[in-house]
Amino acid sequence: MQLIKLDATDSTNTYLNRLSRQENLPDFTVVQANHQTAGRGQRGTLWETEGGKNLTFSVLKNFGALPARSHFMLNMTISLSVYTALEALKIPHLSLKWPNDILSGNRKLCGILIENQLQGNFIARSIVGIGLNVNQTLFAKLPGATSLKMVTKHDFDPDEVLLKVMEQLESDLSGMDVDNPRPTLEQYEAHLYLKDQLSAYRRKDGSSFKGTILGVQPDGLLKIALPDGRIESFGFKELQYPALRQD
C-alpha cells in the first residue's frame, strides 16, 4: 500500500483520479484526507465529516481487463471487505444497505463510492472512495448517521482502522473470482439490510409501495416481492429506501 496523506482536498476520488492520469501508480495506492471540501457520496450527495475524526480515503485498483459485466461482483467484494474489517473490530449490528452503504443498527456508518474507468467492455481500473465515521459524535445535517465511537462508546485510532480495512480489501480484491460469483452473492445477501422484512419504498416516479427484499441479481438489480405475489427488480436510481431511523 502506498499512502498519500493530505490535510485537505476537494475530493479524494477526484484527487486520485487526477494523479492516476499523470503518474503510473501501483495497485492499492491510497489517498487519505483530513478534510474534503467537496466529498461525494452516492446520488451526488455530499459526505459530512469533521476534520481529523473520521476516515475519508480513496483506493486505486488496476485491473487491466476485468469484464464490465462483473461490476456488481466488484461492488459486493468491496462492501464485504469493509463489513468484515468492521466485524473484526467488534462493531455491533452491522448490515449492508444495497448497493454499498454499511449500517450499524438503523444508522449509516460508512459510504462507498466506486468509479470505474472502462476500456471497451472491460474495467481497466477502479477508484474506490470510502467515508467511514470513526470518532465523530455529532451529525447536524445527517441525523441518520452514526460512528464507531457512538456504537461502541470508545475512541478508535483512525490509522489503525485504515490499515485493518486496507488489509482486508487487498486480500479480497486480489482473490476475487469473477467466474464464480455465487459464494460472494450469497454472503452479500446474508448481510442485506431489510432482507425478508416488509417495508415501505418509493419508486423513481414518486409512487410508494410496500414490499419485501428477496435478494440481489448477479447484475446488481434488487429483487422485491410485492404483497400481491409479483416480484419487481430495481436498479440503483430506481428505488428510494425509507429514511434511516434516528433511534
3-class state of residue 157 by DSSP: coil
Mode of pairing for the β-strands spanning 2-9 and 29-36? parallel
Cell of 211: 414490499
Could you tell me if 128 and 204 lie in one domain?
Answer: no
Q: Are residues 154 and 36 in the same domain?
A: yes
Q: Is 134 exposed, middle or buried (0-12, 13-18, 19+ CB in 10 A)?
A: buried
The CATH code of the domain that includes 214 is 2.30.30
Q: Band of the pLDDT at 139, cuts 50, 70, 90? A: confident
- Average the pLDDT over 58-63 and give the result: 96
Q: CA-CA distance, 210 to 145, in Å (whole number)?
A: 24
Domain total in the chain: 2
Do 146 and 222 lie in one domain? The reply is: no
Strand partners, 181: none
Residues 155 and 204 occupy one common structural domain: no
Please indicate, yes or no, if residue 245 is contained in any of the structural domains.
no
Q: Does 89 or 35 have the greater pLDDT score?
A: 89
202-220, pLDDT tens digit by residue? Answer: 999 999 999 999 999 999 9
The verdict on 53 and 120 lying in the same domain is: yes
Distances (CA, A) of 60 to 44, 169, 171: 20, 11, 14
Residue 218 structural domain: 198-240
User: Which residues are bridge partners to 229 per DSSP?
Assistant: none
Rounded percentage of the chain residues whose pLDDT exceeds 90: 80
Helix (H) or strand (E) holding 151: helix 148-152
In this prediction, residue 51 carries a pLDDT of: 63
pLDDT confidence bin for 64, thresholds 50/70/90: confident
**Residue 121 and residue 34 share a domain:** yes
